[in-house]
Amino acid sequence: MFRQGLVALFDDQPNFEVVGQAAGADEGIALLVDLKPDVAVIDLRLEGRSGIELLREWRKTDPQAASVVLTSSRKPEHAVSAAEAGALGYVLKDEVFEDLIRAVNEANAGRRFYSAGVSNLLVGHQVQPRPNLTKRELEVLSHVVSGDTNRRISSKLGISVKTVESHRSNIMRKLKVGSTAELVRSAIELDLVSSNDR
């Protein structure tokens, strides 16, 4: 019923067309690969596998796949896991439909968007002081949070992959993190990236 309600709401919006829907992960991945939607709205809880697993599998077939997670989960680690898996948006089910519309539009443009409830939740878990990053490190960080690879960052910023790796290493040292997931989470919690990067 919830899914059908979403379809009806999207169908009422200009410039939107719902091309498919699925109740479970197996059916969902088959539709995603076949239909190649501009943006997919994915729940974290699906029959068979989690939405994160579905997203990871889809991005193996299409690394540029754009998606928004729609969930009732208020756990910060779920938002971070979704971002690491490649989701460009994260919206809570109890927030306004306009947030979901904005998240889909932002994802379609290749930008991140977290609804207010998610952003407030992450800020509430801030536990470390804001690090002193250089302008270039902030540029590299924004691309990392956007999901770009080192090679893509190198191309966009006009610097070598080795230089990108060096900046990334310095950023992780300053933020005191050991993985990309922790790096994304810290960047969001410490508000080191703009809403457009999210």
The residues pairing with 70 across neighbouring beta strands, listed in sequence order, are 91
Residues of the chain with pLDDT under 70: 120-130, 194-198
**What is the per-residue pLDDT for 70?**
92
| Residue 56 shares a structural domain with residue 148 | no
| Residue 57 shares a structural domain with residue 107 | yes
| Residue 83 shares a structural domain with residue 157 | no
Please tell me the distance from the alpha carbon of residue 186 to that of residue 130, in angstroms, as a whole number: 9
Please tell me the distance from the alpha carbon of residue 8 to that of residue 25, in angstroms, as a whole number: 22
Backbone dihedral angles phi then psi of residue 42, each to the nearest 5 degrees: -125, 130
Number of domains in the chain: 2
**What is the per-residue pLDDT for 140?**
94
| Residue 113 shares a structural domain with residue 146 | no
With beta carbons less than 8 A apart as the criterion, state whether 144 and 153 touch.
yes
Domain annotation covers residue 7: yes
**What is the per-residue pLDDT for 126?**
44
Closest Cα partner for 34 from 15, 61, 67? 61
Domain annotation covers residue 9: yes
Domain range for residue 160?
135-189
Domain annotation covers residue 100: yes
| Residue 143 shares a structural domain with residue 90 | no
With beta carbons less than 8 A apart as the criterion, state whether 70 and 91 touch.
yes
Please tell me the distance from the alpha carbon of residue 176 to that of residue 72, in angstroms, as a whole number: 30
**What is the per-residue pLDDT for 34?**
94
| Residue 97 shares a structural domain with residue 173 | no
Please tell me the distance from the alpha carbon of residue 198 to that of residue 193, in angstroms, as a whole number: 7
Exposed/middle/buried for residue 90 (C-beta within 10 Å: 0-12, 13-18, 19+): buried
For residue 118, what is the enclosing H or E element? helix 116-123
Question: Domain containing 143 — which CATH number?
Answer: 1.10.10.10
Closest Cα partner for 156 from 167, 166, 164? 164
The Cβ-side half-sphere exposure at 166, using a 13 Å CA radius, reads 7
Domain annotation covers residue 194: no
Give me the amino acid identity at 133.
Answer: L
| Residue 119 shares a structural domain with residue 143 | no
Closest Cα partner for 42 from 77, 9, 76, 82? 82
| Residue 116 shares a structural domain with residue 151 | no
Domain annotation covers residue 94: yes
**What is the per-residue pLDDT for 158?**
95
| Residue 17 shares a structural domain with residue 82 | yes
Please tell me the distance from the alpha carbon of residue 95 to that of residue 117, in angstroms, as a whole number: 8
**What is the per-residue pLDDT for 122?**
62
With beta carbons less than 8 A apart as the criterion, state whether 92 and 79 touch.
no
| Residue 87 shares a structural domain with residue 160 | no
- Give the Å distances, CA to CA, from 51 to 67, 88, 98, 154: 11, 14, 22, 30
